[in-house]
């Protein structure tokens, strides 16, 4: 039963956040600082998600596996200014290759 309560609370919370975002006056969203933050927040959240999913920790030791190699390949593709889909493909192929080799 507590799982359903948590799901219900999550649904209500998500709806409230969405409603709060829609109720912000348009003038407040046109400020240059707000526009800049709105452009940077998704990038920061995505970077944090990638970092958390790529580098794991086992008690007090750092765990680097095939995902780290894929991330390094994606970073090289980004430095070479490859298109987004190419960056993703490079990361996938390198990760799969390292895993296939037993890493």
Which phi and psi angles does 44 have, rounded to 5°? -65, -40
Q: Where are the alpha helices (DSSP H) in the chain?
A: 2-22, 26-29, 32-54, 66-79, 84-100
pTM (2 decimals)? 0.60
Chain-centroid distance, C-alpha 92: 16
pLDDT tens by residue, 10-22: 999 999 999 998 8
In this predicted model, what pLDDT tens digit does every residue of 28-68 receive, in sequence order? 888 899 889 988 999 899 888 888 888 777 777 777 889 99
Asked if 103 contacts 65 with a C-beta cutoff of 8 angstroms, the reply is yes
């Amino acid at each position: 039963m507590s799982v359903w309560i948590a799901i219900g609370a999550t649904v209500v919370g998500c709806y409230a956040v969405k409603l709060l975002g829609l109720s912000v006056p348009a003038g407040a969203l046109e400020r240059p600082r707000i526009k800049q933050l709105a452009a940077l927040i998704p990038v920061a959240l995505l970077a944090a998600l990638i970092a958390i999913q790529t580098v794991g920790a086992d008690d007090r030791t750092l765990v680097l596996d095939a995902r780290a190699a894929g991330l390094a390949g994606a970073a090289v593709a980004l430095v070479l200014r490859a298109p987004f889909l190419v960056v993703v493909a490079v990361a996938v192929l390198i990760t799969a290759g390292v895993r296939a080799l037993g890493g």
